[in-house]
Structure 1
Amino acid sequence: MNLETFGRTIVLAFGLTVSLFKGANAETLKIGVIAPLTGGGAPWGMAAAEAPKILAAEINAKGGLDVGGKKYQIEVIAYDDQYKAADSVAAYNRLLNQDGVKYMIVQTSTAALALKQNVEDDKVLALTAAATSKAFDANTKYMFRIVSPPSDYISALIPWVKEHYKGARIAVLNPNDETGWDQKQISEKVFKKSGYEILTNDLYERSQKDFQPIFTKIIDMKPDVIDLGSTPPSTAGLMIRQARELGYKGLFLKTGGAGPKEIVAGAGSEAAAGMISMLYIDPTNDGYRRIAAAYKKSVGQEPNEMLGPLYDGVNVLLQAIQKAGDVRDTAKVAAAFAQALPMKSVQGDMLTLGGKATIGVDQQVMSVTYVGEIKNGQPVVVGKVK
């Protein structure tokens, strides 16, 4: 099943929900997802839809999730928000009011910002992979981030790249939205502190397909490195291919939103060779390979690596529900995150609860960030930062 076909089968919105209803002899825990299942962000959205399904299948095969002595079979519902705030809100309202959902995966920064206040007002427990720090403040109680964002790992990633790869003249590109604005501001400070000369720090529209005018200008500046920031993977592949066609021979860097397989698919292995990016997973890790195989069996394609942290995030949520002992009380479940963590990730790394230093509240699963280089069309881990 390809991405387009899968997207059409899912309907409109995307979110993670938990609603309860009596079956014949069992209760069901519904998990919903709000994410882009179509368009440039589809690889991330597909990972968000499939990760809870994989975990649910594992738990259901063992009889269900045990909460306070009751067994719950887990069912996942996913909706496509097309990376649009209005569609995210529509999906949220459908999950909350029609499906009775009280637990949601709200995948993107766009969705998290659109739903931030709704989540708190309705006491819906939401997981997000949002990069923007604006999704959180000191009063946030019900939204949890499932990956370390650029504000946490980028201060270690950029100096690591500067130490291990040549070049000090850099051009930076990001999408013109909340994700890109945050990435632009955060990375600019660290690039300068690490000794890079920033030639340009531009924004582009997500709908853009022709990047030749941008790269013609950038190549004339003679950069050693081009950072594609939080650009979606498929778009990054297109950008790399167009830049190479114009004669750029320097290093490509991607400091946010990893997706090397999609990048290679768009750029070609020769054009993408040598690109450095942050990675959420080690593709050779046995734990990750197990869930990646389950994804491929279901969808028919290799997953985006966001599958790893999304699987971990849902696992933390379910363990917090077990610790709380009550699926209906989201306040108890939110408080129980501190009891569910620390825990090991699917790859064996230790996950902890943090975030206060950067977002003002401990509502974030702190994870390891890998550094990858594309070699022979494949991402190879060359470092690790935290």
Structure 2
Amino acid sequence: MLLAGAAIGTSGALSRRVALAAGQELTLGVVGVLSGPAAQWGLALRGAVELVAAEANRDGLIKIDGAPCQVSVVAIDSKYTAEGAAAAANTMAGQGVKFIIGPIGSPELTGVKPIAKRNSMLVMGNGYAKDALSPQFPLVFHMGPGPSGWADPIIKIAKQKFGIKSVMLIAPNDQGGTDIASVDAEAYKKNGITAAEEYYQRGTTNFAPIVTRIMNAKPEAVDLASSPPGDAGIMVKQLRQAGFEGPIGRLGGPGYSEISRVAGGDAVLKDFYWYEPVFIDEKVQLIADEYKKLLGADRPENNLFFQWVSAARMVTKAIAKAGTISDTSKVAEALRALPVEDPNVGSGHWIGQDFFGINQELSFPFGVGLVTNGKLQPTIRVAAATGK
């Protein structure tokens, strides 16, 4: 078990001894991918929760019946699979963990939800599947909006910048691709842009056939949706080599740096737009300073770290408000009633009712990245999506 915040100075150590003497300890469980090519995402998640635990211990945030409660963190590798995430959640349930931060992707969340429901565990997870949230899982929350929340404002910006009238969306032919690209397609259509979808087998290395189909369809723009950054970079390179001149988007999440590297640089990207989950300004950067001060290391490099910090803080605030580390229904009730605000990330909304049938999706301000004429532009700050 990782005891986050165990080394934050004399007062923190004293607080921990008092809390443990009183028998009060809250364990936050982290279920996330900690190995393999997607490990950067899981390390960002784990680092965020360790920081939030250290902040809670330093500030004496959580008290139960007036006694301080020490917060610790246990992390288990989900291996980015439904089976791995389910196994991690089962292990945590056996250890008495009642709060899970994570997982990161839709397959993992699918594996966690039934385990969490059976054991009354509160989950603050992520995943862009159409069924990521539902009234059948009232203890499952979402750390940030999926494309149903942010696709529309990004498309409006892209339409204004590039005058798009038609788009071809490309994504893998599994739930991680179809659930995102299909939602994006509807958002394009609502903005008066003709949208078509094309899917490929995940693991494909030869994109020449799909590039040929795109060129034959003659769309004005291409949206790579949730295609992995490596795949997206290859497709951008091959599209440009084939003579495609229109703008290219990626409404499936961050990944600009890797896409640009694989494609051959910003000059190859030419006109490119994408979703950044957090608009990083000076106030957000202060979280990195806090991490260095409390944990004695540089923060994880993936920018999802900042989004997970804001989400984990909401959970610890709800636990403090509810005054219980065991009654997750009471904590969920407190969480729903909290205003969506973070001292660094800003203010937002609870959304999700229109799309999922339940208002349990956090929505904070976010960013839209742009490359125009081969030059990286300042990120555009967008107000928190309302999901309507």
Q: Specify if TM > 0.5.
A: yes
Match of 2:286 in 1: 290
Q: Which has the larger radius of gyration?
A: 2
CA distance in 1, matches of 2:265, 2:381: 21
The 1:51–1:239 alpha-carbon spacing in structure 2 relative to 1, beyond 3 Å, is farther
Alignment of 1:193-204 (within 5 A): 193-198=190-195, 200-204=196-200
RMSD (Å) for aligned C-alpha atoms: 2.8
Match of 1:339 in 2: 337
Match of 1:132 in 2: 129
Amino acid at match of 1:318: T
Deviations 1:104-125 (A, max 9, x none): 1222111122232222221110
1:31 aligned to 28, 42, 45, which one?
28
The 1:138–1:301 alpha-carbon spacing in structure 2 relative to 1, beyond 3 Å, is closer
Match of 1:264 in 2: 260
Q: Do the aligned partners of 1:125 and 1:330 also contact (CA within 8 Å) in 2?
A: yes
Q: Do the aligned partners of 1:64 and 1:74 also contact (CA within 8 Å) in 2?
A: no
Match of 1:328 in 2: 326
- 1:168 equivalent in alignment to 2:150: no
CA deviation after TM superposition for structure 1 residue 360, in Å:
0.8
Amino acid at match of 1:214: I
Match of 1:102 in 2: 98
Q: Do the aligned partners of 2:22 and 2:67 also contact (CA within 8 Å) in 1?
A: no
CA deviation after TM superposition for structure 1 residue 253, in Å:
0.5
1:190 aligned to 187, 192, 198, which one?
187
Deviations 1:108-151 (A, max 9, x none): 11112223222222111001111123122223210001111111
SS class of match (1:380):
coil
Match of 2:39 in 1: 42
CA distance in 2, matches of 1:39, 1:263: 19
Instruction: Using the aligned pairs only, state the percent identity.
Output: 27
Deviations 1:144-200 (A, max 9, x none): 0111111122233323321221332321112222232221221222222323233x4
CA deviation after TM superposition for structure 1 residue 332, in Å:
0.8
Q: Which moved more, 1:88-97 or 1:36-45?
A: 36-45
Match of 2:236 in 1: 240
Q: Which moved more, 1:353-362 or 1:298-307?
A: 298-307
CA deviation after TM superposition for structure 1 residue 215, in Å:
1.7
Deviations 1:47-98 (A, max 9, x none): 222211222233334456444423233322222223211111111111111x
CA distance in 2, matches of 1:236, 1:94: 36
CA distance in 2, matches of 1:359, 1:246: 40
TM-score, normalised to structure 1, is 0.83
CA deviation after TM superposition for structure 1 residue 364, in Å:
1.7
Q: Do the aligned partners of 1:52 and 1:311 also contact (CA within 8 Å) in 2?
A: yes
Match of 1:14 in 2: none
Q: Do the aligned partners of 2:182 and 2:197 also contact (CA within 8 Å) in 1?
A: no
The 1:55–1:245 alpha-carbon spacing in structure 2 relative to 1, beyond 3 Å, is farther
CA deviation after TM superposition for structure 1 residue 330, in Å:
0.7
Q: Do the aligned partners of 2:28 and 2:72 also contact (CA within 8 Å) in 1?
A: yes
Amino acid at match of 1:73: Q
SS class of match (1:82):
coil
SS class of match (1:323):
helix
CA distance in 1, matches of 2:75, 2:202: 23
Deviations 1:322-372 (A, max 9, x none): 010011111111111133223235222x13323222211122212233222
Amino acid at match of 2:227: T
CA deviation after TM superposition for structure 1 residue 290, in Å:
2.5
Q: Do the aligned partners of 1:54 and 1:295 also contact (CA within 8 Å) in 2?
A: yes
CA distance in 2, matches of 1:299, 1:263: 28
Match of 1:310 in 2: 308
Alignment of 1:207-246 (within 5 A): 207-246=203-242
SS class of match (1:133):
coil
Query: Structure 1: where are the runs of 5+ without partners?
Result: 1-21
Match of 1:120 in 2: 117
CA distance in 1, matches of 2:96, 2:375: 44
The 1:93–1:56 alpha-carbon spacing in structure 2 relative to 1, beyond 3 Å, is same
The 1:91–1:299 alpha-carbon spacing in structure 2 relative to 1, beyond 3 Å, is farther
CA distance in 1, matches of 2:128, 2:327: 28
The 1:90–1:59 alpha-carbon spacing in structure 2 relative to 1, beyond 3 Å, is same
- 1:254 equivalent in alignment to 2:283: no
CA distance in 2, matches of 1:273, 1:231: 19
CA distance in 2, matches of 1:345, 1:205: 42
Q: Do the aligned partners of 1:138 and 1:360 also contact (CA within 8 Å) in 2?
A: yes
The 1:302–1:312 alpha-carbon spacing in structure 2 relative to 1, beyond 3 Å, is closer
SS class of match (2:69):
strand
TM-score, normalised to structure 2, is 0.83
